[in-house]
Amino acid sequence: MALELEGRVALITGAAQGMGRAVAERMAAAGARLVLNDRNPQTLRAAVGAMEGKAAELEPVAGDVSSGRDVARMVEQALERFGAIHILVNNAGVLRPTPVIEIEEEEWDWVLNVNLKGTYLCSRAVLPAMRREGWGRIVNFSSTAGKNVSTLGGAHYTASKAGVLGFTRHLAQEEARHGITVNAVCPGLIDTEMVRDTIDSDRIRSYARSFPISRLGKPGEVAELVAFLASDRAAYITGASLDINGGDLMI
């Protein structure tokens, strides 16, 4: 199974750090050719430099997933380089902990645009290429927030991640006849840069002690789940949302 994604082209958004970076490394190890996206050109260049030699082929594309123009350019560049897109991982996301009473309209729009609109824009953009192949895997990043409330984020984060779940189910229903599966992963508190930039170490330890598996998740553990959903082993799974949270939702 080591090279089960050999010959596949995977487009991963928000791939410069955290879970997106871990997904890219896992898919590289499985033999996929990669298109890596991030909105920050500097962090993207650093990630690509660190991955040189790990991926069969690698194409970086900086851009904002909430911009239809940027997304169209990203997909066009991927198709020019590789001729196909088989796998899309909608990982790019943002989080703010602002209480509702303090959320400005601009902040609300920004979080929803990146987390939910970006998922829609990228999915729509790759569908023609996947339909031509008669095969496709779309893996969307939701969160435990999409099923409950966010541990760290505000209501705009919770609403966006709940929206991703609804979008996942609906798109899965539409695209199944074209050989395309659409699923969501719902991570809990994962040890990423975004989490450590949001809360201090004492709060991290406190949260970890409250989980049945008393630690934060690792980005590589989420990447394993995403790689499974992107493979032929998950051919009969679509419209699903898979939890990976150390048991957080049980309590």
What are the catalytic residues? Answer: 157
**Which H/E stretch holds residue 104?**
none
Cβ atoms of 164 and 119 within 8 Å: the answer is yes
Residue 12 Cα distances to 4, 148, 196, 247, angstroms: 17, 26, 22, 27
Residue 72 in tokens = 């169209």
> Which residues, 6 or more positions from 150, have their beta carbon under 8 angstroms from its beta carbon?
95, 143, 144, 157, 158, 161
Residue 106 in tokens = 């601009």
Helices and strands, number each (H, E), in the chain: 9, 7
> Which residues, 6 or more positions from 126, have their beta carbon under 8 angstroms from its beta carbon?
11, 75, 85, 88, 136, 138
By CB atoms closer than 10 A (0-12, 13-18, 19+), residue 200 is exposed
Give the strand pairing for 180-187 and 241-244: parallel
